[in-house]
Amino acid sequence: MIIVSKGLFVLGTGTDIGKTYVTGLLLKYLRDNGYDATYFKAALSGAIRDENGSLVPGDAVEVLTMAGLEEDTDFLVPYIYETAVSPHLASQIEGNPVNLDVVKDAYEKVSQKYDYIVMEGSGGIVCPIRYEGKDNENNIMLEDIIKHLDLDVILIADAGLGTINSIVTTVEYLKNRNIHVCGIIMNNYKDELMENDNIKMVEDLCNVPVIAKVYQNDKNLLPNVDTKELISYFK
């Protein structure tokens, strides 16, 4: 089996910056513009159980609901953990550690059905996905999944105070590992002096464009790049 669709990796500067929300807006934008796009996430922790006792991956449900896409979440998320901690620790507690080949196989199956895949990361870039001890060959970091699937990155960040450091350090980390960052989306944006200066500073310091600004409770993504350019980020 080979990957036939094109994918893009959505990465946050950290937790709780609205990465899942913006991922939903991005997927909705693509589907509203006629692109056959779907969601994918390698490992999700913090899932809840429904009335039947089955684990429900909340992030995936949120994104699919926002985008108006009906799909089996088990098909889109190969590893689902109940414990609300980093995937490496959740898998240590619950068993079933992440295997890169399993992730790639699941991604390939999704790619047979959809033309474009918006893949959401877990936390920030320094997120252990599997950890079996220092220098263990089975260890997996989030960056390993990005490289394994050969994807470029869209970075999601909060527009407020402290974002310059978070964005610059994340972009430099990615560049040092030969992972390309296509653009930045600022979440929780307010049209204020500091936040507009934050945008100018990160663009100057990182040489990466801010391609969209998302106000709180926005229902649609309004990128400042055209649709063809946005689609060109998928590979």
Distance CA 172, CA 143 (A): 13
Is there a catalytic annotation at residue 41?
yes
Matching residue, tokens 């922790």: 45
CATH superfamily, region 6-232: P-loop containing nucleotide triphosphate hydrolases (3.40.50.300)
pLDDT value for 26: 98
CA 22/CA 33 separation, integer angstroms? 17
Spatial separation of the C-alpha atoms in residues 94 and 148, rounded to whole Å: 25
Q: Which of 6, 19, 28, 41 is catalytic?
A: 41
Q: How far apart are CA 74 and CA 176, in angstroms?
A: 34
Show me where the domains of the chain are located.
6-232
Q: Flag whether pLDDT at 234 surpasses 80.
A: yes
User: What pLDDT digit, counting tens, does each position of 9-64 carry?
Assistant: 999 999 889 999 999 999 999 999 999 999 999 999 999 998 888 899 999 999 99
Give the pairing of strands 181-187 and 210-213: parallel
Closest CA to 22 of 228, 216, 206: 216
pLDDT at 98 over 70: yes
pLDDT at 99 over 80: yes
Amino acid in the structure at residue 160: G
Q: Return the pLDDT at 160.
A: 96
Residue 100 predicted with pLDDT over 80: yes
214, 25 Cβ separation under 8 angstroms: yes
Name the β-bridge partners of 140: 130
Burial per residue of 21-45, b for 16 or more beta-carbon CB atoms within 10 angstroms, e otherwise = bbbbbbbbbbbeeebebbbbbbbbb
Which of the four pLDDT bands, split at 50, 70 and 90, describes residue 1? low
**pLDDT tens digits along 128-166:** 999 999 999 999 999 999 999 999 999 999 999 999 999
pLDDT tens for 163-200 read: 999 999 999 999 999 999 999 999 999 999 999 999 99
